[in-house]
Chain A
Amino acid sequence: AAGVIQSPRHLIKEKRETATLKCYPIPRHDTVYWYQQGPGQDPQFLISFYEKMQSDKGSIPDRFSAQQFSDYHSELNMSSLELGDSALYFCASRVAGTSYEQYFGPGTRLTVT
């Protein structure tokens, strides 16, 4: 079965650079979530989209922005990277109104040096 695809899987950036993370949800899933997981920590919700509109916003820094495109894929744009942005970034998807279960991608490991 198709799963959530994230790219790239690993990314190394320097401080103050920008990064773009991509997420391709499971086909026909209309809701996408982004989570950030720091080393040894639990995942923290960043932002979500439903039918290409932002549906919820969590503890996402102003330096970050995200959007969902017409083909339902989503991108998380991160600017002025800081060392503390080093983390695993997960995308998850679901079909709103059918199940509360979220399907997670393998994550993008971002390292800021």
Chain B
Amino acid sequence: SQQGEEDPQALSIQEGENATMNCSYKTSINNLQWYRQNSGRGLVHLILIRSNEREKHSGRLRVTLDTSKKSSSLLITASRAADTASYFCATDHGTSGSRLTFGEGTQLTVNP
């Protein structure tokens, strides 16, 4: 990945537990987004946090952003087996066209 690293690369938890994934990036951003991808399928947008925001919630999702550390975290609470997927952070640097630069992704496995 050109920029953006995620850790852990793989995470295995039991249903009902919380899952936390972290993402780091290298240059200034306009916003940071999290996407979910089921195996070999399309990416689904989960949540967006702007550069002037520090925390955002959506259902069981909580995203934090620390622009001073150039990092973000995604917390999924009360995980379900259906949450099993790869999760990617993607940064939008506000350049022409607003391309997304993806991190390397975290493979989350939620065991029933």
Contacts and interface: CB of A to CB of B under 8 A. Distances in A.
A44 B98 contact: no
A45 to B, nearest CB: 4
Interface residues of B, number: 27
Specify which of B1, B92, B102 lies most central, judged by the most chain A CB atoms within 10 Å of its CB: B102
B101 interface: yes
Interface stretch (B11-19, B41-49, B61-69): B41-49
A55 interface: yes
Chain A's interface size range is 20 to 34
A104 B99 contact: no
Given A88-B40, A101-B33, A43 B97 contact: no
Interface of A: 4, 31, 33, 35, 41-45, 48, 50, 55-56, 58, 88, 90, 92, 94, 96, 100-107, 109
19 contacts: A33-B99, A42-B1, A43-B43, A43-B88, A44-B102, A48-B97, A56-B95, A56-B99, A58-B99, A90-B43, A96-B98, A100-B30, A101-B45, A102-B45, A102-B100, A104-B35, A104-B42, A104-B43, A106-B41
